[in-house]
Amino acid sequence: MEALVVRRLGDPTLPPCAEDSPFEAFSRDQPLPELSSPTSVRVRVRVAASSLNFATFLQVQGKYQERPPLPFVPGSDYAGVVDAVGPGVRKFRPGDRVCSIASIGSFAEFLVAEEKGLFAVPDGCDLVAAGALPAAFGTSHLPLSTELNSSLARCCLYLVLLAVLGYLLYK
């Protein structure tokens, strides 16, 4: 399996072939992730798209609050196609299009996730767009859903909605 592997912490803007790069050139010797137990509710996904976000950028530098041990495969949100399912999986089948977020590992050809952490990608939604959705949606949804009861949060939401409406009317 192919993956982009971080061998040492450093500047993530350097190409994998650069001398000071934290990345090993694409590794082709990573083991294919297994589904594990015979009652597994895990799903193996062939990753089609993964976004590069600020958390990943910080992780490669060793500046994120979660520091995985070296070496590690970076990447968090992703989209892809279900490759295999454990015997306990009920919601997905091989060939289904899904997206999700992981703490690390989405810059790999395959990733294994729990069934409950996956979201079906609707027909008509491109996998590249779906690959950037989980972190962006979660980042915006959490404060809006937990803080919307405050008058300040409501005021901010109204201002944003008015700005979007103004933009659409201007177009």
Determine contact, residues 25/68, Cβ cutoff 8 Å: no
What's the pTM? Answer: 0.79
Per-residue confidence (pLDDT) for residue 70, from 0 to 100 = 95
Domain boundaries, the chain: 3-131
Per-residue confidence (pLDDT) for residue 49, from 0 to 100 = 96
Per-residue confidence (pLDDT) for residue 17, from 0 to 100 = 79
**What class is the 3-131 domain?**
alpha beta
Determine contact, residues 110/32, Cβ cutoff 8 Å: yes
CB under 8 Å to 114, separation ≥6 — which residues?
41, 42, 43
C-alpha to C-alpha distances, 69 to 35, 88, 93, 147, 149, nearest whole angstrom: 22, 30, 32, 35, 40
CA distance 41 to 1: 22
Per-residue confidence (pLDDT) for residue 110, from 0 to 100 = 97
Average pLDDT by consecutive 10-residue portion of the chain (171 residues)? 92 88 82 82 96 90 94 94 95 97 94 94 91 77 63 71 71 56
